[in-house]
């Protein structure tokens, strides 16, 4: 096409009707005077009823002029589902879906256009992997060379790798740009975007092989987690603050831009594409035989439970390592908290708000309502007990609602007194100072904290109020339009108060009405408490680490600690052997005793043994400092040294003698402490 055929001051695009000239969004806009046609490149390329039947030099980039006119006439009869104007040339591929769209309207709905062609990575030259990744990311790379590619040293910038630590709290004394290969100060780039970096030490990355994603990419991945990928598109009024699901699938007619096998697809934003690194249409493309629902056998179910437990252990281990990194902030200066066990919250609040309280100070706890003075070796146990009681109070306080998996509630008085902030601060301090994990957060609350509420889509199970849940359920399961309208009429005041009142003209309107209500009651309603709570969790850098290691910290916030087992205690303690002491099978006696306790063949419990040695009834997420040890010594009875977390065990000739000494000592010691 000659330059004379191109007119900068062009009329509207014959397909979308817009005069916008924005190549970045709509592709190059050109006017062909001899054909009396003005087109956005992407409007033409994305149209469902046309493909390139000509060669590259025929018509417009292979699209024949007669085919373009037919497509314009076809689109003139189709109304855009978003702007309600004619000319909508892009249709949904679902056989029963008759909705059509303009290309710019699709962009306003946060749609993504995917292309695949014969391009490759400019660095590693891997064509196949690069094509698939560009397809997943929704990136279109034009086939023709850009003007800047012809300049001298045009690719010089591509030879430079990003080397900067973007973590909020960079630990490197030499600065954020310091990079020392094969050390903890080597900079690792985000595996997804490559435009953010971190020192290995600043993100608690143990090795270069460990993957790392920046906060921005994790936020995008979170969107994919909550998009259900419906097969039909949604009306304009159905969009909810960027969280609505719009899925537009490819037309069966796949236009090409070159003789290669390029595909075009109109899909909902990258939210849907990120989970498990699959494209949104992966399930749709599977053979029917692969999509048949299958019931798991009991053996498979048990195996899955075992795998989940194993996965949780791995995640907790990772979280423990991260917390140990945060503990490096704690100094030796002490702050004493005087705690009344009959009102833990009030005394804790007073202590946390005292002028000399610093989260980085070592915390000592004294229970003021105890008759006997606290022994020096009980400070660790007292602190753990305090945090345990505090977590229990927070869980059952008016700050949260729900049964086992809790969401934040709305308590105006608590907001006024800034108690959401204080609760978040206390949880952060508890984790870093050796207290227990919360373990009662709902998944939707945790994801709101980590990924941001705008990236989370709740479901009916997340509604704590039984009355609200019942009303939403009634709307959701309305079977006819008349019953739906009747329900909406009955709930008029309820819907108006939630800001969700909308006209209902079709039965499918109930879907967006339900979504609106869920977003309001689970997320929008708690905006102020959530932000205050997030600020509290930033104490000691805990929230930042949660954002960097969401799966690891989810195991602490959303799951109760695993019950103590003989295996766990055996792994917890390290046996220190002395060449001067003949243990005579002491290690075997110890492991055998743990097995007996676990199977109930003992008067003590595994928790009793742990408490006898450490003063704690459970293993804190951060672990113990110092790590628990066992020594076999020529002593008559077991000794629990809580300052050193050391269990001194007697040397006996028989297992029965060993077990009797353990039972007698632990039972009587703990009984005396309780009394």
- Map tokens 């497509």 to a residue: 71
409 DSSP β-pair partners: none
The burial of 264, by beta-carbon neighbours within 10 Å (0-12 exposed, 13-18 middle, 19 or more buried), is given as buried
With CA atoms as reference, report the closest residue to 438 among 384, 382, 390, 379.
390
Find the helix packing angle between 586-598 and 655-674, rounded to 10°: 60
The burial of 352, by beta-carbon neighbours within 10 Å (0-12 exposed, 13-18 middle, 19 or more buried), is given as middle
* Radius of gyration for the chain, computed over Cα atoms and rounded to the nearest angstrom: 32
Mean pLDDT, consecutive 10-residue stretches, the chain (675 aa), reads 45 89 85 88 86 83 89 90 88 74 83 53 61 65 57 64 83 88 88 86 77 76 48 36 34 36 33 32 33 41 72 91 94 93 93 94 88 48 89 95 90 95 97 94 95 91 90 92 92 90 90 93 94 96 94 94 88 81 76 91 93 90 92 90 92 91 92 76
Give Cα 291 distance to the centre of its chain: 27
Rounded Cα–Cα distance for residues 72 and 68 (Å): 6
Question: H-type helices in 578-654, by residue range?
Answer: 586-598, 606-614
What is the structure's pLDDT at 251?
Answer: 36
What is the structure's pLDDT at 117?
Answer: 42
**Sequence-distant (≥ 6) Cβ neighbours of residue 353 within 8 angstroms:** 422
Rounded Cα–Cα distance for residues 342 and 281 (Å): 57
Question: H-type helices in 342-396, by residue range?
Answer: 344-352, 379-395
Torsion sign, CA atoms 394, 398, 403, 407: negative
What is the structure's pLDDT at 268?
Answer: 31
Residue 334 φ/ψ, nearest 5 degrees: -105, 150
H-helix or E-strand containing 338?
strand 334-339
What is the structure's pLDDT at 203?
Answer: 82
Token reading at 94: 């679902």
Token reading at 509: 């309107």
How far from each other are the two terminal CA atoms of the chain, in whole angstroms? 96
Token reading at 637: 């009875």
CA distances from 401 to 214, 409, 462, 464, 526 (A): 32, 5, 10, 6, 11
What is the structure's pLDDT at 136?
Answer: 66
HSE of 557 in the Cβ direction (CA atoms, 13 Å)?
Answer: 27
Residues 464, 407 contacting (CB under 8 angstroms): yes
Overall pTM surpassing 0.85 (yes/no): no
For the beta carbon of residue 575, count every other beta carbon within 10 angstroms. Answer: 16
Residues 646, 629 contacting (CB under 8 angstroms): yes
**Sequence-distant (≥ 6) Cβ neighbours of residue 192 within 8 angstroms:** 213, 214, 217, 221
């Amino acid at each position: 096409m000659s330059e004379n055929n191109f007119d900068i001051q062009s009329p509207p695009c014959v397909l979308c009707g817009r005069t916008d000239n924005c190549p970045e969004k709509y592709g190059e806009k050109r006017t062909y005077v001899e054909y009396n046609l003005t087109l956005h490149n992407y409007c033409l390329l994305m149209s469902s009823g046309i493909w390139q039947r000509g060669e590259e030099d025929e018509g417009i980039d292979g699209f024949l002029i007669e085919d373009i006119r037919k497509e314009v006439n076809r689109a003139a009869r189709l109304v855009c589902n978003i702007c309600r104007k004619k000319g909508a040339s892009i249709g949904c591929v679902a056989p029963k879906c008759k909705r059509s769209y303009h290309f710019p309207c699709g962009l306003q709905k946060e749609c993504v256009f995917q292309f695949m062609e014969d391009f490759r990575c400019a660095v590693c030259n891997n064509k196949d992997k690069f094509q698939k990744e560009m397809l997943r990311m929704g990136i279109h790379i034009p086939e023709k060379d850009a003007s800047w590619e012809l300049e001298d040293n045009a690719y010089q910038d591509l030879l430079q790798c990003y080397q900067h630590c973007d973590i909020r709290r960079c630990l490197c004394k030499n600065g954020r740009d310091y990079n020392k290969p094969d050390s903890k100060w080597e900079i690792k780039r985000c595996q997804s975007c490559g435009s953010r970096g971190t020192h290995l030490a600043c993100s608690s990355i143990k090795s270069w092989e460990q993957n790392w994603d920046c906060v921005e990419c994790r936020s995008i991945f979170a969107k994919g987690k909550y998009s259900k990928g419906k097969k039909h598109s949604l009306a304009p009024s159905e969009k909810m603050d960027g969280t609505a699901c719009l899925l537009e699938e490819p037309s069966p007619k796949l236009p090409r831009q070159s003789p290669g096998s390029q595909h075009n697809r109109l899909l909902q934003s990258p939210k849907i594409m990120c989970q498990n690194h699959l494209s949104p249409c992966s399930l749709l493309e599977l053979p029917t035989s692969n999509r048949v629902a299958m019931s798991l056998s009991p053996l498979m179910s048990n195996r899955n439970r075992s795998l989940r437990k194993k996965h949780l252990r791995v995640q907790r281990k990772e979280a423990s390592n991260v917390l140990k990194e945060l503990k490096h902030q704690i100094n030796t200066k002490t702050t004493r908290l005087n705690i009344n066990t009959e009102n833990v919250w009030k005394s804790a609040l007073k202590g946390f708000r005292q002028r000399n309280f610093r989260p980085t100070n070592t915390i000592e706890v004294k229970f003021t309502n105890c008759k006997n003075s606290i022994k020096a070796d009980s400070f660790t146990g007292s602190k753990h007990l305090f945090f345990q009681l505090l977590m229990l109070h927070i869980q059952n306080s008016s700050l949260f609602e729900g049964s086992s998996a809790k969401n934040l509630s709305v308590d105006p008085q608590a907001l006024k007194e800034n108690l959401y902030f204080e609760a978040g601060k206390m949880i952060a301090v508890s984790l870093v100072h050796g207290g227990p994990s919360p373990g009662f957060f709902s998944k939707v609350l945790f994801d709101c904290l980590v990924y941001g509420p705008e990236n989370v889509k709740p479901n009916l199970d997340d509604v704590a109020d039984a009355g609200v849940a019942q009303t939403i359920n009634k709307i959701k399961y309305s079977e006819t339009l008349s019953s739906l309208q009747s329900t909406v009429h009955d709930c008029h005041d309820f819907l108006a108060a939630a800001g969700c009142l909308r006209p209902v003209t079709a039965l499918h309107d109930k879907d967006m009405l339900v979504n609106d209500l869920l977003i309001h009651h689970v997320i929008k309603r708690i905006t102020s408490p959530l932000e205050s709570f997030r600020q509290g969790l930033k104490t000691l850098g805990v929230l930042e680490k949660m954002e960097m290691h969401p799966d690891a910290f989810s195991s602490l916030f959303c799951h109760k600690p695993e019950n103590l087992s003989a295996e766990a205690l055996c792994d917890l303690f390290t046996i220190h052997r002395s060449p001067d002491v003949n243990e005579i099978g002491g290690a075997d006696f110890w492991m055998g005793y743990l097995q007996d306790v676990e199977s109930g063949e003992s008067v003590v419990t595994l928790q009793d043994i742990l408490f006898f040695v450490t003063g704690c009834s459970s293993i804190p997420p951060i672990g113990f400092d110092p790590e628990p040890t066992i020594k076999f010594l020529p002593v008559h009875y077991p000794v629990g040294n809580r300052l050193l977390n050391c269990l001194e065990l007697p040397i006996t000739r028989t297992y029965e003698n060993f077990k009797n000494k353990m039972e007698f000592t632990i039972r009587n010691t703990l009984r005396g402490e309780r009394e």
